[in-house]
Amino acid sequence: SQSIKAELTEQITNDFHNAFAGPNSKNFTANQQLAEACLVVSILEPKVKRDLLKWFVGIQLSEYCHLFQETQDIAWLDKIEKRYAWLKKNLVAFEEKFGHMFPPDWEMSEHIAVEFCHITRKELGKIMLSRKNEINVQLLLFAIQKTTNFESLLAQRFSGVTLDSTLLHQFVKKEGPNPFQETDDNNPFKEDIQKEIEGVNSETGSTESASVMKVKNPFQGIISRCFEPHLNIYVEYQDRNLTQLMDGFVEDMQKAGLPKAEISRANVLPSCADLFVFYKKCLVQCSQLSIGHPLLALTSVFQKYLREYASRVLQNSLPKVGNSAPSANLIQSLLKEGEVARFSPSEQIHICSILTTADYCLETTLQLEGKLKEKVDPTLSNQINLQSEQDVFHNVISNCIQLLVQNLELACEPALTAMTKIQWAAFEAVGDQSSYVTAITTHLRQTLPLLRDNLSTSRKYFTKFCMNFANSFIPKLIGHLFKCKPVSPIGAEQLLLDTHMLKTILLDLPSLGSVSMRKPPPMYTKIVVKGMTKAEMILKVVMAPHENAESFVDNYMKLLPESDITEFQKVLDMKGLKKNELSVMTDIFRSRQPAVPTTGGHHQEQDVSSAPMLSSTPEHESSRIRRLEKLIKRL
């Protein structure tokens, strides 16, 4: 009946109080009577057991609360290990003296340890709040290390069943391979999978065993989460460390100077790997301290120094060409009596090194973002986004490519200028390729192997360089063709031959000087064919007779269907027409303009490769083109 249960509860409670809190409690030893009383408690209302345990655990920890109260010197962080030593010593004494008195399923030692942890967490939180100005990073990390070691010790000794019975002996499947794992041994974030996996069957090499991982320590954070409000000290400390590290990187770059072109190859800068190794250490350490907002704060620090590395170490070490004038004016400003200020081979290798380093940073930043999202509290993972930092490294890569393109353009500029100074109206016969073509070819053959070899680890960016150069050089070539005026039909034939030779070498540009002749990417080939076919069409128009104005305009529109009035007038200027002829031609072109797109012009890419060949020229014009084509084939 309820009255009997109430009497038993009162009697057992009194017996325990007399034994452990009475006048002779210090001399009390475990006896059979209390052991049997515990068995009775087990079948009474659960509240009886809960109340008895709460009271008993409080008795066992009363000395601890007295010794380590906030005002005591021993309570401060520098002596934190004394707290844990106290529990270990007293648990041993308790188990020797009273352990056999309590039923094993009561888990008395674990109950005492867990309550000790709760008290310690609250007391440490209070004392750190009152003395926060006395906490430095070394003291904080010392206290955290001692605490996390103690939490690991608890996990070895206890199951955690009193915390959450569902954690007992549970295992979870590992969800496939680590998404951050890399085959490149230089990746500082490469995980040692064997350290994370437990239960691998070394004899059978069981993949099933290797894919099973234990649940994390149930005691993790039971005390150490009290340090989380103070982890800003740790984050600020790493911020200062990274400032020093970045200053060192900049100083090392200044001391190193340029690589020697004869013996050097473009490599990823060592400082880049050093930075990410430092990041990994910080990430591992911080994620052990907290996976909450402190890890977000550390992420912001990581972002800050990724941007700084891109700016101070990479971008600022790029060699400068001239000043900050726009590129269109820059080349002209550097021209002086045929001389151009170009990058030396060593400077070009250095630019390639900066590019490959930025590429490495780009890839590793993407991996870092994935690792941060994996480590952080899932509710905070959407706040981690390193896209802007990836964009910064993309910009460095683009700047490097632009510098290399600009440098090669500078090399070719005197030859293009020389082309415009040739008296094209005075040509009497078509010969071999002109000297300006030979000069351009020489520059291409000197530069391309150097860049290809030094961008071998970033092949896609070498291809990007080739595409950017073609997109820039071909319109520039067409612009210089328009400056060649007047041009006789024979002169136009020579220019057409020269243009074809340039087209041929541009098509082979990605493989110039290479032992293995790779087929260029289709996109690159398309760019060259489109642009150079337009140049050829312009010259074929210049070669065409103009006595029949309407026929000439018709042919022009067939060859250059996307052209506009401005470009048409430039072609007429190349032919050296008289004013009255110009006026007639222009009027005819304007009268037919509605049928022609007005968005053309030599600044736009045009699909001129599909333009029809000149079909309405007289017989002598067709004959001239056939002769030129035969000459090109012989060359």
Residue 400, Ramachandran bin (φ over 0: left; ψ between -120 and 50: alpha; else beta): alpha
Per-10-residue mean pLDDT of the chain, 635 residues long, equals 66 67 61 74 72 85 94 94 95 85 85 94 96 94 93 91 55 32 47 38 36 60 92 95 96 83 74 96 89 94 98 93 46 46 89 96 96 94 96 97 95 95 92 94 94 91 96 97 94 95 95 83 95 95 90 92 91 89 90 58 40 40 52 50
Sequence letter at residue 19: A
| Cα–Cα distance measured from residue 370 to residue 177, given in angstroms and rounded to the nearest whole number | 14
pLDDT at 153: 93
Helix count and strand count (H, E) for the chain: 22, 2
At residue 370, the pLDDT reads 95
Q: Would you state the torsion angle of the CA atoms of residues 300, 302, 304, 306, taken in this order, to the nearest 10 degrees? A: -150
Residue 579 token pair: 């004013």
Do the beta carbons of residue 400 and residue 352 sit within 8 Å? yes
pLDDT at 36: 75
Amino acid at 93: A
Residue 342's closest CA among 396, 257, 405?
Answer: 405
Backbone angles phi, psi at 212, to 5 degrees: -110, 135
Q: Is 214 helix (H, G, I), strand (E, B) or coil?
A: strand
Euclidean distance between CA atoms 268 and 356, whole angstroms: 6
Token code pair at residue 192: 């040692």
pLDDT of the residue at 42: 67
Nearest to 447 by CA among 485, 405, 415, 487: 405
**C-alpha distance across the termini of the chain, in Å:** 117
User: What pLDDT was estimated at residue 621?
Assistant: 47
Say what the pLDDT of residue 117 is. Answer: 96
Q: Which residues pair with 212 in a beta bridge?
A: 173
Q: What is the DSSP-derived secondary structure letter of residue 336?
A: B
Nearest Cα neighbor of 296 from 226, 380, 240 is: 380
HSE (side-chain half, CA atoms, 13 Å) at 79? 13
Tell me the Cα Rg of the chain: 41
Q: What is the reported pLDDT for 133?
A: 93
Cα–Cα distance for residue pair 28/572, rounded to 1 Å? 118
What is the predicted pLDDT for the residue at 59? Answer: 87
Cβ atoms 261, 344 nearer than 8 A:
yes
Tell me the C-alpha distance between 515 and 264, whole Å.
20
Q: Are 348 and 451 in contact (CB under 8 A)?
A: yes
- Any residues with CB less than 8 A from the CB of 388 and at least 6 apart, and which? 303, 307
Tokens of 482: 């328009």
Domains in the chain and their CATH numbers?
A: 1-164 (no CATH), 234-320+343-396 (1.10.357), 422-543 (no CATH), 544-592 (no CATH)
